[in-house]
Chain A
Amino acid sequence: MSKQKIVVVGNGMVGHKFIDTLVNDPQGEQFDIVTFSEEPRLAYDRVQLSAYFSGSTADDLAMTTPQYYDERGVRFLLNDKVTGIDKAAKTITTEKGEVESYDKLVLATGSYPFVPPIPGNDQPHCLVYRTIEDLEAMTASAKQSRVGVVVGGGLLGLEAANALKNLGLEVHVVEFAPRLMAVQLDEAGGSLLRTKIEELGVQVHTGKATQNIADGEDCRYRMEFADGTHLETDMILFSAGIRPQDELARQFDLTIGERGGIVINNECQTSDPDIYAIGECALWNNRIFGLVAPGYSMAKVAVSHITGGDDSFEGADMSTKLKLLGVEVGSIGDAHGNTPGSISYVYSNGAEQVYKRLIVSADNKKLLGAVMVGDTSDYGTLLPIMLTGMDLPANPETLILPVTDGEAGGGMGVEALPDAAQICSCLDVTKGDLIESIQAGNHTVADLKACTGAGTGCGGCAAMVGQVLNCELEKMGVEVNNNICGHFDYSRQELFDIIRSKKYTNFQDLLKDHGHGHGCEICKPAVASMLATQWNEYVLKDEHLPLQDTNDVFLGNMQKDGTYSVVPRMAGGEVTPEGLIVIGEIARDYNLYTKLTGGQRVDMFGAQLHELPAIWKRLVDAGFETGHAYGKSLRTVKSCVGSTWCRYGMLDSVSMAILLEMRYKGMRTPHKVKMAVSGCTRECAEAQSKDVGVIATDKGWNLYLCGNGGMRPRHADLFATDLDDETLIKYIDRFYMFYNHTADRLQRTSVWMENLEGGLDYLKDVIINDKLGICDSLEQDMLRVIDTYECEWKKTIESPERLKRFAHFINSEDGDNNLAYVEERGQRRPATEAEKRGQAIPAIELVD
């Protein structure tokens, strides 16, 4: 049987979703797929378009690649527009003259920005905001402008205003309606949003109908309004809504709605059953859906219908929650209370600038809609209540009133939600999906996110995910406590608060006052680490010695046979030839196995306890310091060679790496931490795989946080851009100390951040905006650590008393006679058990 041919017109987000769903369908192989796009690139994430201004590239926004399509046999033609359909012959023709036959035709032509018919709207600096090319035009225009106006105060318009503000312009928003976001917000909500946006320096003009765009006096243009006033500006961005791109369908006689849009049925078929329309070009039930989620639903329905399934499109919820110019805004269901007989509950807080309104049914039992401005934390609770039609609690107002008595708001926690309730709307994860995953053993928020994907889209549901987890664990009888161990009924964070506020300087006093029993191998090193972070005393001090893991007791990394490895610090991976010669001589004299680490330094293996002091004496005499390779502490700051040598380098990455490594060396942390500095975006230092990564740009440093390699690799998140040296260091100081104070024991920065309610945005609020008012004290705490640094090995070799412990036997100068080695590739390694027993020794000799 020959394959069916599918032609997809338009390769935007929805067109791509259709193709991706079809090729991954079990029946996908029965189809040949061809797609056309008039844009020069394949589908990209238009929802995140504004990220283009904060450093994301077209590649970052891409949703697919030519390779991906090639591998799946999808043909694609870019820069070519479909201009004709022959419904009888079932062929299409393009602008460039291509003719392509089809069995099924899918129109995913999207929409175009509506530009009001104002005289003068076609001048060079009058632009729209929809494609990457539009953004490039905006950037170019902004460079020659001082003032910018956005026409349209809806969701997209405010996003565009933010983009212009970030481009450094004086920004005005001109809206025809009497308020901002008239579709999603009621009058009070819209007016609070206006106040907040104006405080951020964006000027808002509502109720303004532009009649003409004339030449300006102070600026390039003058906008003349119907009420006789005017506004001068250098550029104008139209963002006054979208119109379905139905030109092709209209021209070839498919049924079109009165106000535009290609009419479709529940199966997404147009008036010609072999032609489908999906996304913003489609009109269902006389409605256009200008959001991506309903477009995706239509794509899935069309695939289902083409492959013989029975999915149907049944409309979509248009509730939204987003942050506009930093202001939280949420809108659910019937936000205007248009339902006859509906009742409203309103909470307004002038001091905190928060407005919330609930719209409930006449019988006070069902939630119909809600409006939130300034605080959308209730969104996650309210949306499932509306979508599932659950009964409201007796006093619905409790759902939006602030929590004052420590009880969860409204007595309507996640527990009351049915399993079908959607928790993560970005990735369509229900409460039932989460429960299943929890029962399968995922007992932390980070594990749940990794397993179900919940919370990895916009992140807005993270708090809800945590609530479902705690609620379910409680039901399963799993004790929900994060006590550090059986000897302290406190979490690491709580213990750290106790140590700081009551100034504990040793374990015994802390245990006596706040713990019980004798302590263990869990709490002792954890407390030792916290004491070191806080007071930074010598870790081998008598009262700290019994708390340390063996690596810290002997200032080396214990290997499988009980010997240690030796790693001197080479800040930034820089070492002189003389330094290398000293290391080579030591390794040769003590017959140490030598290997380079991933952190750009040299590791020498196989040193016995009694050899360590002499080895370190020689290293210290040659100017080396301990590398803290043994500690839960800063390991290395890796760097590329940077602008001093490299043709591409933007900044001196080596000097910055050395500065950072010397600043944070020796700092004890909840888990080991690593850093890297790259001199340009080629990223040779792999900074995005580190806890703290720094990448040079032509405007300064970009800071990335919370990446790691290891078992569960994670790319670091872009935290701040174009920083000068001083700000970069300030942010890193604050970041590390906040992590040190609040992370769990042995929790890496990535998991710590994923478990923070509010995630990356919260971290930005704390570190950049000083939301908690603790930045000063974080910096002071960091300064104390930096000021009290001393090389632990230097101090140790100067103390004969301490050195007594560096012996295998307390009563003999012999070494450990239990050790055995064989030679391999010119160096020694520990013998295997079989080799020790003299069995099957390979062609290598046991060495002394």
Chain B
Amino acid sequence: MSDSWISVCDESVLVPDTGICAKVGEDHVAIFKVAGSGDLFAISNICPFGNASVLSRGLIGEVDGQLYVASPLLKQRFRLNDGVCLDDESITIATYPVRVSDGQVEIAA
């Protein structure tokens, strides 16, 4: 993973416990801000089950302390910190390093 950070938006745009989608190179990246902790996570925006660019529009949930996003298509859950699908662990989607720098949300690509 290179260290080139790409700025995608102002942090104030993120509403806690919701996601947005950013274009990073050719990738569609879903970025989530968790309510309470304020932690940021970035994973691929493509739901591998429906092959559609939609995960940023899913609901954030928690089971046994693990945070996930449920696909808005057919509700498969993807863990935010490592992209593993909780309903089919053979499937993992890409994750991206994400940080806030000078009030800007940045993704490493």
Interface pair B28/A818, CB less than 8 Å apart? yes
- Any chain B CB within 8 A of the CB of A517? yes
Partner of A808, one of B15, B21, B67, B77: B21
Partner of B53, one of A487, A812, A816, A833: A816
Interface pair B15/A811, CB less than 8 Å apart? no
Interface pair B35/A546, CB less than 8 Å apart? yes
Residues 541-552 of chain A, each 1 if its beta carbon lies under 8 Å from chain B, else 0: 010011101100
Interface pair A521/B61, CB less than 8 Å apart? yes
In Å, the complex CA distance between A818 and B63 comes to: 31
Interface pair A542/B72, CB less than 8 Å apart? no
- Any chain B CB within 8 A of the CB of A519? yes
In Å, the complex CA distance between A805 and B56 comes to: 11
Q: How far is the CB of A818 from chain B (nearest CB, A)?
A: 5
- Any chain B CB within 8 A of the CB of A562? yes
Task: Say whether, besides A561-B52, A816-B53, A818-B46, A545 and B18 are in contact (CB < 8 Å).
Answer: yes
A487 closest partner in B (C-beta) = B62
Partner of A549, one of B21, B59, B62: B59
- Any chain B CB within 8 A of the CB of A554? yes
Interface pair A814/B23, CB less than 8 Å apart? yes
Task: Say whether, besides A809-B22, A811-B22, A520 and B73 are in contact (CB < 8 Å).
Answer: no
- Any chain B CB within 8 A of the CB of A553? yes
Task: Say whether, besides A521-B59, A521-B70, A549-B59, A508 and B23 are in contact (CB < 8 Å).
Answer: no
Q: Which of A522, A546, A561 has its CB near the most chain B CB atoms (within 10 A)?
A: A546
- Any chain B CB within 8 A of the CB of A389? no
- Any chain A CB within 8 A of the CB of B58? yes
In Å, the complex CA distance between A508 and B53 comes to: 29
A-facing residues in B30-57 (Cβ within 8 Å): 31, 34-36, 46, 50-54, 57
- Any chain B CB within 8 A of the CB of A712? no
- Any chain B CB within 8 A of the CB of A96? no
B66 closest partner in A (C-beta) = A518
Interface pair B17/A546, CB less than 8 Å apart? yes
Partner of B52, one of A545, A554, A804, A818: A818
Count residues of chain B with CB under 8 A from any CB of chain A.
Answer: 36
B-facing residues in A513-560 (Cβ within 8 Å): 517-522, 524-525, 542, 545-547, 549-550, 553-554, 558, 560
In Å, the complex CA distance between A804 and B15 comes to: 12
In Å, the complex CA distance between A811 and B28 comes to: 11
- Any chain B CB within 8 A of the CB of A416? no
Chain A residues within 8 Å of B75, by CB = 521
Chain B residues within 8 Å of A560, by CB = 50, 52, 73
Q: How far is the CB of A833 from chain B (nearest CB, A)?
A: 7
B70 closest partner in A (C-beta) = A521
In Å, the complex CA distance between A175 and B21 comes to: 81
Interface pair A810/B61, CB less than 8 Å apart? no
Interface pair B28/A518, CB less than 8 Å apart? no
Count residues of chain A with CB under 8 A from any CB of chain B.
Answer: 34
- Any chain A CB within 8 A of the CB of B60? yes
- Any chain B CB within 8 A of the CB of A486? yes
User: In terms of DSSP, what is the predominant structure of the interface of chain B?
Assistant: strand
Partner of A553, one of B28, B57, B73, B77: B57
Q: How far is the CB of A802 from chain B (nearest CB, A)?
A: 11
B47 closest partner in A (C-beta) = A562
B53 closest partner in A (C-beta) = A818
B105 closest partner in A (C-beta) = A810
In Å, the complex CA distance between A593 and B77 comes to: 30
Chain B residues within 8 Å of A818, by CB = 28, 46, 51-53
Chain A residues within 8 Å of B59, by CB = 520-521, 524-525, 546-547, 549-550
Task: Say whether, besides A521-B70, A545-B15, A808-B21, A558 and B46 are in contact (CB < 8 Å).
Answer: no
- Any chain A CB within 8 A of the CB of B1? no
A486 closest partner in B (C-beta) = B63
Partner of B9, one of A517, A549, A811: A811
Chain A residues within 8 Å of B36, by CB = 518
In Å, the complex CA distance between A732 and B67 comes to: 42
Interface pair A812/B23, CB less than 8 Å apart? yes
Interface pair B72/A558, CB less than 8 Å apart? yes
Chain B residues within 8 Å of A549, by CB = 59, 72
B-facing residues in A795-831 (Cβ within 8 Å): 804-805, 808-812, 814, 816, 818
In Å, the complex CA distance between A486 and B61 comes to: 11
Residues 746-766 of chain A, each 1 if its beta carbon lies under 8 Å from chain B, else 0: 000000000000000000000
In Å, the complex CA distance between A804 and B16 comes to: 16
Chain A residues within 8 Å of B61, by CB = 518-522, 524
Give 24 CB contacts A-B under 8 Å: A518-B36, A518-B62, A520-B61, A520-B62, A520-B63, A520-B70, A521-B75, A524-B59, A542-B15, A546-B35, A546-B60, A553-B57, A558-B54, A558-B72, A560-B50, A562-B53, A805-B20, A810-B20, A810-B21, A810-B22, A811-B22, A811-B23, A812-B23, A818-B51
What is B's interface to A at a CB cutoff of 8 Å? 8-9, 13, 15-18, 20-23, 28, 31, 34-36, 46, 50-54, 57-63, 65, 67, 70, 72-73, 75, 77
What is A's interface to B at a CB cutoff of 8 Å? 486-487, 508, 517-522, 524-525, 542, 545-547, 549-550, 553-554, 558, 560-562, 804-805, 808-812, 814, 816, 818, 833
Known: A550-B58, A810-B21. 16 other contacts (CB 8 A): A519-B61, A520-B63, A520-B70, A521-B77, A546-B17, A546-B60, A549-B72, A558-B54, A558-B72, A560-B52, A561-B50, A562-B53, A562-B73, A814-B23, A816-B28, A818-B46
The 5 A-B residue pairs whose C-beta atoms are closest, nearest first, are A520-B61, A518-B62, A546-B17, A550-B72, A521-B70
